[in-house]
Amino acid sequence: MLALWIGLATAAAAPVNCPLPATPADIEGATRAGERAFAELDLPALRRAHAEALALVPCLTSPVPVPLAADFHRLMALWAFTNGDEALVLAEFHAARRLVPGYVVPEEVAPAGHPLQQLYTRSNGASEGTLQPTLPPTGGAVWVDGLRGAPRPDGISVLVQVEGADGRLLRSFPLAAGDPLPAFGPPPVDPRIATRRRVTLTATSATLLATAGTLWVAAAAAEDRFWDPSAAIPDRDLAAVRTRTNAFTVAAGTAATLGLGVGLVAGLTW
């Protein structure tokens, strides 16, 4: 199984060089060619169809529909069968069955009683593993086997497609069973944590603004005392009163600026 999938992991991580964009119809053509090749026992043609399908996936410009994702998995199963990898056949057939449960392998592809038919029947009980949530880009989405926002079962392979906020596909690649699922965006914020954060920011903003108000009052009082003839401030203390007034004013302005800034952040995250 590792030998068959090692190229997929490499392709998913490497830069994509697509001479032409690919469409779901191109993938469909490769899967149909693979079925015909298997039915005709044409191993070179099946190899070409398998390689073509894998090469087309990174070049897709739109999400594949669910039935086509199932076709892709069945093609992978046919290729795995010719390589004697029974475990991968079962996993790929199960990946296809979960998408299109009513599909029946045509007898022209594999007649009744054929080992491929037996494996297809057995695949119904194969394990999908654990469901993993996907982390899409901000404003975007992740498609798993043609399903927008679906979780990824880590016990079988899947087709992953990443959609940006503008609706365009950013990446398309097959992800083998057991391979780590990349994070394409930030993890979701726990609503309780977000609420606590907003309350804390709001309270901090209110405290800073209240402090600014207190400092403004103190600055105004010091200013009035400085200019009040009846206060009879000795000349030697005038400089100290003026310094205190300026300090209160600067501190009040700083607290007000911080309070408004924190309040703005709280408003944007509310």
pLDDT tens digit at each of 270 positions of the chain: 434 443 444 344 334 567 788 999 999 999 999 999 999 999 999 999 999 999 999 999 999 999 999 999 999 999 999 999 999 999 999 999 999 998 999 999 999 889 999 999 999 877 888 899 999 999 999 999 999 999 999 989 999 999 999 999 999 999 998 899 988 887 655 566 556 777 787 888 888 778 878 877 776 776 666 555 655 555 555 567 667 777 777 877 887 888 788 777 767 665
Residue in the block written with tokens 């509310």: 270
Judged on CB neighbours under 10 Å (0-12, 13-18, 19+), 91 is buried
**At 5, which amino acid appears?**
W
Q: Which residues are within 8 A (CB) of 70 and not within 5 positions of it... i.e. 6 or more apart?
A: 95, 96, 97, 99, 100, 103, 145
pTM confidence score: 0.66
Residue 62 near residue 68, CB atoms below 8 Å: no
C-beta separation of 59 from 18 below 8 A: yes
pLDDT at 217: 79
Per-residue buried b or exposed e for 260-270, using 16+ beta carbons within 10 Å of the residue's own CB:
eebbebbeeee
Q: Cβ-count burial of 29 within 10 angstroms (0-12 exposed, 13-18 middle, 19+ buried)? A: middle
Name the strand (E) or helix (H) holding 159.
strand 158-163
- Cβ–Cβ under 8 Å, residues 89 and 77: yes
The letter for the amino acid at 106 is P
**Contact by Cβ (8 Å): 142, 161:** yes
**Distance from chain centroid for Cα 221:** 57
CB 39 within 8 A of CB 108: yes
Contact 119, 85 (CB under 8 A): no
Domain residue limits, the chain: 2-175, 191-269
